[in-house]
């Protein structure tokens, strides 16, 4: 009984969906049919009466292809949870030049509105996604459209047959409609996945753009890091060592005349040497933590947890060694997350788990803080995401107000 009810429900839902798919995919052919009807009505024999319908067909196909594809993507995403990335080319920014004109990446225009319009059409014209959409609007009616129109066509045939008292054909139509209703709309998913996703060339182009941006980021970050190290050395240890040399020289001079002051200077020099060592140690810790070097990621994270003011528990299933750059990125990522947990979330406890599956290393960091962490532009988490992106890694943050904050870092790595 329950099975029957659920089948009827799915048949009803399927019928509605099939109707929706039919309407969406048959929209363009319907316009074509209307244009043909218009041409016949004006006079089928006269070639000039076909000009207007032809223009209508061209313009409407161009104008409708993108909305139809958007619609199909939306329907597929809602019904089957298959997300098909659109992959449309994004327009660049429109900037005002010192001359007062607007530059949109292609041409100068007098007003920003003109510049935006011009840009929109140029981007759309040169976008390979436009041609893909046009192809889909041609393919969809012949495949998805035909299959999805079986149930409505069956019902229509039944209604017609009953009104003309041909019960056999009517019952046949009804049976076809009901039997095909739960399945007819399903063809939309495979067809959309096959023909609507970005082509390899487009994916490749996107990937190149992404990598170019990453390379730019990496170079900037690296240059900044080297500047920081140079500045720290110059202002800290180097200056201190010069002062040390000075006091030793003075002490040497004073040794015979004023041995007490010489002794005091020596003591000062010793303190100064110890301080410069501390500074150097902190500097090295910031570049490459020694435990990470000696023992690898898991022990380094354990050491980090020990040093942290949080009560931090580390669980790691294996003693893994990864490529040093990945290890270092993950380590500094965890360090940053722990710092955030203390500084911003006012957490007292944290849990860190490190695991790896066949393709990824997965690090979860969870704290009991007040939550509301987000990757704002220019913030620490956005920076972390960028640093992980260099290795194709991802950062997921779930942090509702009131906590807890849970951050997952995933970095792909080949098994070593």
Nearer to another protein, 349 or 394 (CB): 349
Nearer to another protein, 189 or 327 (CB): 327
Question: Which of 31, 303, 390, 397 lies at the binding interface for another protein (CB under 8 A)?
Answer: 303
Nearer to another protein, 299 or 360 (CB): 299
**Minimal distance, residue 225 CB to another protein, in Å:** 20
**Minimal distance, residue 306 CB to another protein, in Å:** 4
Question: Which of 203, 222, 293, 319 lies at the binding interface for another protein (CB under 8 A)?
Answer: 293
> 170: helix, coil or strand?
helix
**Minimal distance, residue 395 CB to another protein, in Å:** 24
Structure tokens at 269: 């020099």
Pick out residues in 257-286 that bind another protein (CB under 8 A).
Answer: 270, 273-274, 277-278, 281, 285
In this structure, the number of other CB atoms found within 10 A of the CB of residue 220 comes to: 10
Binding mask 304-343 for another protein (x = CB under 8 A): -xxxxxxxx-------------------------------
Question: Is residue 190 a contact partner of residue 366, using CB atoms and an 8 Å limit?
Answer: no
**Minimal distance, residue 401 CB to another protein, in Å:** 25
Which distant-in-sequence residues (6+ apart) come within 8 Å of 162 by Cβ? 170
Structure tokens at 406: 């849970």
Half-sphere exposure of 40 (CA within 13 A, CB side): 6
**Minimal distance, residue 311 CB to another protein, in Å:** 4
Using the rule CB under 8 A, give the single segment among 46-54, 199-207, 251-259, 288-296 that binds another protein. 288-296
Nearer to another protein, 261 or 348 (CB): 348
**Minimal distance, residue 338 CB to another protein, in Å:** 10
Q: Kindly determine how many residues on this chain lie close enough to bind another protein according to the rule CB under 8 A.
A: 25
Question: Which of 67, 92, 245, 290 lies at the binding interface for another protein (CB under 8 A)?
Answer: 290
Question: Is residue 313 a contact partner of residue 305, using CB atoms and an 8 Å limit?
Answer: yes
**Minimal distance, residue 299 CB to another protein, in Å:** 6
> 60: helix, coil or strand?
helix
Question: Is residue 395 a contact partner of residue 407, using CB atoms and an 8 Å limit?
Answer: yes
Residue closest to 409 by CA, chosen among 317, 350, 336:
336
Q: Quick one: three-class SS letters along 288-349?
A: CCHHHHHHCHHHHHHHHHHHCCCEEEEEECCCCCCCHHHHHHHHHHHHHHHHHHHHCCCCCE
Query: How many Å separate Cα 308 from the centre of its chain?
Result: 32
**Site residues (CB under 8 A) for another protein?**
270, 273-274, 277-278, 281, 285, 290-291, 293-295, 299, 302-303, 305-312, 348-349
């Amino acid at each position: 009984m329950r099975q029957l009810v659920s089948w009827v429900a799915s048949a009803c839902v399927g019928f509605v969906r099939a109707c929706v798919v039919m309407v969406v995919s048959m929209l363009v052919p319907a316009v074509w049919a209307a244009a043909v009807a218009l041409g016949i009505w004006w006079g089928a024999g006269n070639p000039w009466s076909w000009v207007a319908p032809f223009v209508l067909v061209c313009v409407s196909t161009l104008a409708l292809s993108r909305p139809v594809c958007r619609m199909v993507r939306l329907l597929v995403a809602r019904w089957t949870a298959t997300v098909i990335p659109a992959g449309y080319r994004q327009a660049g920014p429109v900037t005002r030049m010192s001359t007062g004109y607007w530059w949109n990446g292609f041409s100068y225009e007098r007003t920003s509105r003109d510049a935006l319009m011009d840009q929109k059409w140029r981007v759309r014209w040169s976008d390979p996604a436009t041609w893909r959409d046009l192809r889909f609007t041609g393919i969809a009616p012949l495949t998805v459209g035909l299959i999805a129109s079986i149930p409505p066509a069956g019902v229509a045939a039944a209604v017609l047959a009953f009104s003309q008292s041909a019960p056999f054909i009517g019952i046949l139509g009804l049976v076809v409609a009901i039997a095909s209703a739960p399945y007819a709309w399903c063809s939309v998913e495979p067809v959309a996945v096959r023909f609507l996703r970005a082509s390899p060339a487009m994916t490749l182009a996107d990937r190149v753009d992404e990598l170019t941006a990453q390379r730019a980021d990496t170079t900037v970050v690296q240059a900044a890091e080297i500047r920081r190290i140079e500045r720290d050395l110059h202002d800290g240890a180097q200056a201190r060592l010069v002062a040390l040399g000075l006091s030793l020289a003075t002490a040497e001079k004073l040794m015979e005349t004023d041995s007490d002051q010489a002794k005091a200077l020596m003591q000062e020099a010793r303190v100064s040497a110890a301080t410069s060592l501390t500074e150097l140690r902190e500097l090295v810790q910031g570049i490459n933590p020694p435990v990470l070097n000696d023992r690898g990621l898991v022990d380094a994270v354990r050491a980090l947890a020990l040093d942290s003011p949080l009560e931090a528990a580390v669980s790691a299933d294996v003693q893994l060694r990864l490529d040093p750059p990945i290890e270092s990125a993950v380590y500094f990522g965890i360090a940053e997350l722990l710092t955030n947990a203390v500084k911003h979330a006012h957490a007292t406890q944290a849990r860190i788990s490190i695991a790896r599956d066949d393709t990824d290393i997965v690090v979860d960091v969870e704290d009991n803080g007040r939550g509301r962490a987000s990757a704002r532009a220019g913030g620490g988490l956005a920076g972390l995401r960028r640093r992980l992106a260099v290795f194709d890694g991802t950062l997921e943050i779930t942090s509702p107000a009131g906590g807890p904050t849970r951050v997952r870092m995933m970095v792909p790595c080949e098994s070593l």
